[in-house]
Amino acid sequence: MMSYVGPDILAELEEKIISKEQEITSWFAEKRSKLKMPIYGSVDIRDANWKVAVVDANQFPAGFNNLQDGDIGEHFRNAIGDLRHVHIWPEAHTRNPAYVEHLSALSAILEEEGYAVTVGVLETHEEVPVNIEGAVPDLILLNNDLTDGPLPDLGVPVVPSPKMGWYQRRKSSHFKAIQPLVDEISQLLDIDPWLLSTQWFVSEGKCLDKDTCRTLLAAEADNFLADLQSKYDQYGISGTPTLFVKNDAGTFGLGIIEITSGEELLALSNRKMRKLTYGKGGTEAEDFLLQEGVPSALSWDGMVVEPVAYCANGRVGGWFYRANAKKGEMANLNSPSSVFIHPHEIENPAIASRRQHWHMLVAEIAMLGIAIESASL
């Protein structure tokens, strides 16, 4: 039984997004003409029926093995052009079987487009450019989130920009980049921007080992939850608004805490507090992203599902659904119990239509956002 119930606003507005298709296409073309689009990326999307939003945008995707079809190879070809040798620079921890499968799938996509592909972390020396047994690649495709720090000069073009590594990128920077875009497209569609984005704020300088800092963060959370409750009331949504509290400083923050009141922050156990505040290199996190939780109204075969879009050259080129029978509609589905479903396995025309319109819209807005992030670093 769904804990969150509200109007199916996206279905009610579907005719509007279809009727505005040409205007939306022109809007994207104008935006892309002014930006260097990311060579690739992936986004996790939550669809609550009353809103659809990207909740996570990954510049260094690691799930190409979960794709089964699509035209992502063509988009890679448009991004890379007539270069010959592409070298994939992976994460160092390649003992994860799923990650090895991902690298194999990504390599196969590029090879099908006619590129010579090599894979591996290369030794760097004072002499540049780097080479593989004397062969200098034309392009290095970075598939390492650089949590530990930036790359040295390799003497070869590197994409995506190493500046997008988690050693300096912030989760909130993406949501800050996309908000003006969401506002513009919402104006074009004449809808509330809240329907196309997750709300968030960053609480800075909160040393949560101190009661005074924790109390201030709890008060901020309560104020934010009250604002979310007003939107629930406006749209007739039943259910308790939820926040996810995350370290804003990237993937090395191990903790994601789900709360429905500031009081829950004050009552956190020491173990959960350590998990939340642990940052890169063992440093204590003091900047926290508080992000609106968006429940998933989509389900298949008794499992909650969320769409994941894989993009190249700023365009969606493939989809899969992350599903989890052990998780509820508000929970983070990305866990060892998750499974992956291909779009053709879900025989539901309504979900397919939603993917082609609303999900595609927010995914490609997210790619514009990544381009803006990269240009700002």
Full 3-state SS string of 174-185: HHHHHHHHHHHH
In a domain, residue 345? The reply is yes
2 occurs within a structural domain: no
C-beta separation of 171 from 202 below 8 A: no
> Are both 118 and 233 inside the same structural domain?
no
Listed residue (300, 312, 298, 293) closest to 359, CA to CA? 298
Structural domain range at position 349? 9-62+169-376
My answer on whether 143 and 177 are in the same domain is no
pLDDT of residue 288: 85
Give the CA-trace dihedral at 195, 350, 369, 243, to 10 degrees: 50
> Domain tally for the chain?
2
Q: What is the Cα–Cα distance from 4 to 293, expressed in whole angstroms? A: 11
Q: Is the pLDDT of residue 163 over 50?
A: yes
Structural domain ending residue among the three candidates 105, 132, 164: 164
287 and 351 belong to one structural domain: yes
Beta-carbon contacts of residue 141 (< 8 Å; ≥ 6 apart): 39, 40, 86, 87, 88, 89, 106, 110, 159
Which tokens belong to 132?
């593989």
pLDDT surpassing 50 at residue 2: yes
Q: Over range 25-32, report the average pLDDT.
A: 98
What is the tens place of the pLDDT at every residue in 10-24?
Answer: 999 999 999 999 999
For residue 212, the model assigns a pLDDT of: 87
Q: Which residues pair with 288 in a beta bridge?
A: 203, 247
The domain boundary, picked from 164, 188, 223, lies at: 164
Local structure of 94: helix, strand or coil: coil
Whether residue 25 sits in one domain with residue 74 = no
DSSP 214-274: HHHHHHHHHHHHHHHHHHHHHHT-BS---EEEEETT-TT---EEEESSHHHHHT--HHHHH
- Report the chain's mean pLDDT, rounded to a whole number: 92
Q: How far apart are CA 69 and CA 57, in angstroms?
A: 21
What is the reported pLDDT for 253? 42
Whether pLDDT at 317 is above 90: yes
We report the CATH number of the domain holding residue 128 as 3.40.50.11280
Same domain as 73, residue 21:
no
User: Sorting pLDDT into bands at 50, 70 and 90, what band is 336?
Assistant: confident
Average pLDDT, stretch 288-292? 92
Burial of 253 (0-12, 13-18, 19+ CB in 10 A): buried
Task: Examine residue 3 and state whether it is found in any structural domain, yes or no.
Answer: no
Domain co-membership, 139 together with 114 = yes
Question: Do 362 and 289 lie in a common domain?
Answer: yes
Candidate from 78-82, 86-90, 122-126, 208-212 with smallest mean pLDDT: 208-212
Express each pLDDT in 136-147 by its tens digit.
999 999 999 998
Does 212 share its domain with 149? no
Q: Is 96's pLDDT higher than 90?
A: no
Give Cβ neighbours of residue 310 (< 8 Å, ≥ 6 apart). Answer: 40, 42, 61, 63, 64, 67, 70, 72, 316, 317, 318, 319, 320
- The confidence band for 162, taking pLDDT boundaries of 50, 70 and 90, is very high
Contact 61, 41 (CB under 8 A): yes
Q: Which two tokens stand for residue 46?
A: 């939550």
pLDDT digits (tens, 9 = 90+) for 199-248: 999 988 767 767 888 899 899 999 999 999 999 999 999 999 999 988 88
Pair (18, 120) in one structural domain: no
* CA–CA separation, 200 and 116 (whole Å): 43
Does the pLDDT at position 252 exceed 50? no
Do 157 and 176 fall into the same domain? no
Please say which residue of 119, 149, 164 terminates a domain.
164
Classify residue 4: in a domain, yes or no. Answer: no
Do 30 and 44 reside in the same domain of the chain?
yes
Whether residues 148 and 214 share a domain: the answer is no
Strand order from edge to edge, sheet including 243-247: 200-203, 288-292, 243-247, 256-259
Quote the crossing angle between the two packed helices 171-189 and 360-376, to the nearest 10°.
130
Range 104-116 burial, b when 16+ CB lie within 10 A, else e: eebbebbeebebe
* Confidence label for 370 from pLDDT (cuts 50, 70 and 90): very high
Taking alpha carbons only, the member of 130, 35, 106, 115 closest to residue 82 is 115
